[in-house]
């Protein structure tokens, strides 16, 4: 099934934050600024998790993390919710899981083997 192929290994929220931290590794910002950016990133993902963020596949999550890390690097450690929302809107428009595929995935989440 499509959903099994796509979502096997899809990162959870904590793993997506780790992806961002790894993307920040070489950014030219202070450790304090990076720490603040990581916290901002985590809060933002939590706020949009069920709307869009949880539906990003691995590559889409990495692209989002990298775009946010690039913003941190180019703005002396600043990362805002508005900037992340803009990136998310652009990415959501071309996201692999959208429309009826997303609806099918949400419906299948309610199924359990237990």
Give this prediction's pTM: 0.82
Residue 61 near residue 11, CB atoms below 8 Å: yes
- Mean per-residue pLDDT, 82-110: 82
- Residues with Cβ within 8 Å of 45's Cβ and at least 6 positions away in sequence, in order, are 13, 16, 17, 53
pLDDT digits (tens, 9 = 90+) for 46-55: 999 988 888 8
What SS3 class is residue 11? coil
pLDDT band with cut points at 50, 70 and 90 for residue 41: very high
Residue 15 pLDDT? 93
Reported as a pLDDT band with limits 50, 70 and 90, residue 16 is very high
Half-sphere exposure of residue 49: CA atoms within 13 angstroms, side-chain side: 13
pLDDT of 17:
96
């Amino acid at each position: 099934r499509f959903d099994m192929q796509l979502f096997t290994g899809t990162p959870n929220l904590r793993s997506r934050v780790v992806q961002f931290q790894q993307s920040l590794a070489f950014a030219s910002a202070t450790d304090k600024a990076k720490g603040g950016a990581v916290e901002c990133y985590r809060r933002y993902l939590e706020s949009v998790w069920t709307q869009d963020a949880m539906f990003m596949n691995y590559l889409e999550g990495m692209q989002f993390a990298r775009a946010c890390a690039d913003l941190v690097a180019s703005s002396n450690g600043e990362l805002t919710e508005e900037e992340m929302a803009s990136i998310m809107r652009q990415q959501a428009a071309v996201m692999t899981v959208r429309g009826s595929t997303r609806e099918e995935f949400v419906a299948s989440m309610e199924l359990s083997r237990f």
